[in-house]
């Protein structure tokens, strides 16, 4: 199935970049974040430190990300929660946004599992690519999304529909 790590990286990176020398510097790392190095951000971006819980077919992993983020994920300094669920895979994240040089050195705290919400979206069956199975969203997931993803282990792209927090929807843009 699709690589949500890739998706998250895209969500964090896809915000419009304006070339400028005015940007602040933020620590940058992915995965375990055992080592981090400063990175110059495009103007208008702030620093982000993210802790995610990635659930892939029931296998759960914690992953971290630090770097620059646009206004869709970091509209203001402070903690932000986000979540995306495809059915077979989900990512729950807790982000700390801050707007001073190298302010994202600390690890974000782990996200809390949100309770069930009232929204239902459709999910896709990865074997048949039919997207007509209902998926219950969490309270954090206030939007449905439809996208096409290329799994990291395959050349064939397939539909990916599911529940998403609105901040992640706007970070991913229209699709
Ligand atoms: C985000 O999660 C934290 C705990 O992880 C919680 O205290 C806070 O209320 C949540 N914020 C929103 C907007 O859901
Ligand atoms: C989903 O669509 C497929 C193909 O159109 C159909 O065979 C299947 O019965 C549908 N399932 C549901 C739950 O509607
Ligand atoms: C999804 O929500 C519906 C309505 O609240 C409920 O009847 C159903 O059991 C839920 N399904 C799952 C898999 O939790």
CATH of domain 4-172: 2.10.60.10
**Mean pLDDT in residue range 165-170:** 79
Q: Where are the domains of the chain?
A: 4-172
What atom of ligand 2 comes closest to residue 132's alpha carbon? 1
Q: Which of 130, 134, 135 should be mutated for ligand 2, with most atoms under 8 A from CB? A: 130
Beta carbons of 2 and 160 less than 8 angstroms apart: yes
What is the distance of C-alpha 106 from the center of its chain? 19
Given a cut of 90, is residue 10 above it in pLDDT?
no
What separation, in Å, do the N-terminal and C-terminal C-alpha atoms of the chain show? Answer: 19
**Mean pLDDT in residue range 5-19:** 51
pLDDT for res 169: 74
Given a cut of 60, is residue 111 above it in pLDDT?
yes
pLDDT for res 1: 38
pLDDT tens for each residue of 34-90: 899 999 999 999 999 999 999 999 999 999 999 999 988 898 999 999 999 999 999
Residue appearing with tokens 């620093």 = 47
With vertex at residue 165, the alpha carbon angle to CA 164 and CA 169, rounded to the nearest 5 degrees, is: 70
3-state secondary structure of 54: strand
Measured in Å, residue 167 CA sits from the centre of ligand 1 at 14
Pairing of strands 59-69, 143-149: unpaired
Instruction: Report the alpha-carbon distance of residue 114 to residue 18 in Å, rounded.
Output: 35
With vertex at residue 144, the alpha carbon angle to CA 164 and CA 52, rounded to the nearest 5 degrees, is: 10
Measured in Å, residue 150 CA sits from the centre of ligand 1 at 31
What mean pLDDT value characterizes the chain? 85
More reliable by pLDDT, 147 or 12: 147
**Mean pLDDT in residue range 151-162:** 78
pLDDT for res 16: 46
**Mean pLDDT in residue range 102-110:** 94
């Amino acid at each position: 199935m699709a690589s949500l790590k890739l998706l998250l990286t895209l969500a964090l990176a896809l915000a419009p970049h304006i070339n400028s020398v005015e940007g602040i510097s933020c620590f940058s790392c992915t995965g375990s974040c055992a080592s981090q190095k400063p990175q110059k951000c495009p103007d208008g971006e702030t620093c982000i430190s993210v802790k995610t819980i990635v659930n892939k077919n029931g296998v759960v992993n914690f992953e971290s990300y630090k770097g620059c983020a646009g206004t869709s994920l970091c509209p203001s300094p402070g903690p932000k929660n986000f979540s995306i669920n495809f059915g077979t895979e989900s990512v729950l994240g807790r982000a700390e946004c801050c707007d001073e040089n190298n302010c994202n050195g600390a690890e974000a705290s782990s996200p809390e599992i949100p309770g069930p919400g009232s929204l239902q979206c459709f999910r896709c069956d990865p074997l048949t690519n039919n997207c007509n199975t209902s998926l219950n969203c969490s309270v954090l997931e206030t939007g449905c999304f439809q996208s096409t993803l290329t799994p990291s282990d395959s050349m064939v792209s397939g539909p990916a529909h599911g529940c998403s927090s609105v901040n992640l929807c706007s970070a991913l843009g229209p699709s």
